[in-house]
Structure 1
């Protein structure tokens, strides 16, 4: 019984910490976006393209959880800002099909703006063993999956 209560308290503390993390990352993203002139949705999509390689607009919309019409506006802004290029897919049956690719010349700008956070995260990670970092990474992956599943559920899909 006492173990169950302690576990519940610990789980509640983790959830509260995740809420705090969410708030702080939202604030960081807002400041970051202002520095590089990217809206939240634009930054999310650019990050997805950078992490997952060239993507079709439809695949990117699905990953980002955005409606295709919204994705068009995001891609237009990213292209105008020099963050991405749209390339025709010669292998596609639909001649309108394009692949979205991040431009490499602006990526160093992102790293520069985020260098403070990256350095702080390096210091945080230095405090943990490799085994502890593996547990933390597993927890964060599972938390991200739970967030994804909840977003899909709320979206009715």
Structure 2
């Protein structure tokens, strides 16, 4: 740690702001899920599929931190609601490939439109260096989250 009080204060402010942003992000996700008649896990699954295109049920389980049984139930529910298709992998019939239905993707984006516009306006005021710093920060945070999730899963296996 640094002996510089201004740096220590700035780091404390950054940590507090990060926690508050994380908390508000979760509250926002719960509100969006409720508006769409989904659970937060459903929404996380659909969000992941929107980025990934398609994924196996096992990959969905890993990215949502749900058991395979819970993912099976969730995917059945999302399939019945018309959000996803689930097809057996022709290369490995034991695996199921899940795909977000493109016609439903726009419906999922709608509740985020105003927030996305605000975010674009905010970012327009940032320099390229500032945006690059933020991308690097988010990339590092993502890697840290994934590493901690792996550690937590491993701890669950040994306890």
**TM-score under structure 2 length normalisation:** 0.89
The residue aligned with 1:76 is 76
User: Partners in 1 of 2:110 and 2:27 — Cα distance?
Assistant: 18
The residue aligned with 2:88 is 88
Matched residue count:
155
User: How do 1:53-72 residues align onto structure 2 when only pairs under 5 Å count?
Assistant: 53-72=53-72
Q: Unaligned regions of 5+ residues in structure 1, if any?
A: none
The residue aligned with 1:134 is 132
User: How do 1:45-56 residues align onto structure 2 when only pairs under 5 Å count?
Assistant: 45-56=45-56
Of 144, 150, 153, the residue aligned with 1:152 is 150
Is 1:20–2:17 an aligned residue pair? no
Q: Secondary structure at the match of 2:122?
A: helix
Tell me, yes or no, if the aligned pair for 2:88 and 2:97 is still in contact at 8 Å: yes
Q: Secondary structure at the match of 2:102?
A: coil
Q: How many angstroms does 1:66 deviate by?
A: 1.6
The residue aligned with 2:122 is 124
The residue aligned with 1:37 is 37
Q: How many angstroms does 1:69 deviate by?
A: 0.9
Kindly provide the CA deviation profile for residues 35-91 of structure 1, in whole angstroms up to 9, marking residues without a partner as x: 111111111111111111211111221222221111112111211221110012111
Tell me, yes or no, if the aligned pair for 2:86 and 2:96 is still in contact at 8 Å: yes
Kindly provide the CA deviation profile for residues 122-147 of structure 1, in whole angstroms up to 9, marking residues without a partner as x: 11111101121010111112112222
Superposition CA RMSD, Å = 1.8
User: Partners in 2 of 1:3 and 1:130 — Cα distance?
Assistant: 31
User: How do 1:110-121 residues align onto structure 2 when only pairs under 5 Å count?
Assistant: 110-121=108-119
User: Partners in 2 of 1:7 and 1:145 — Cα distance?
Assistant: 24
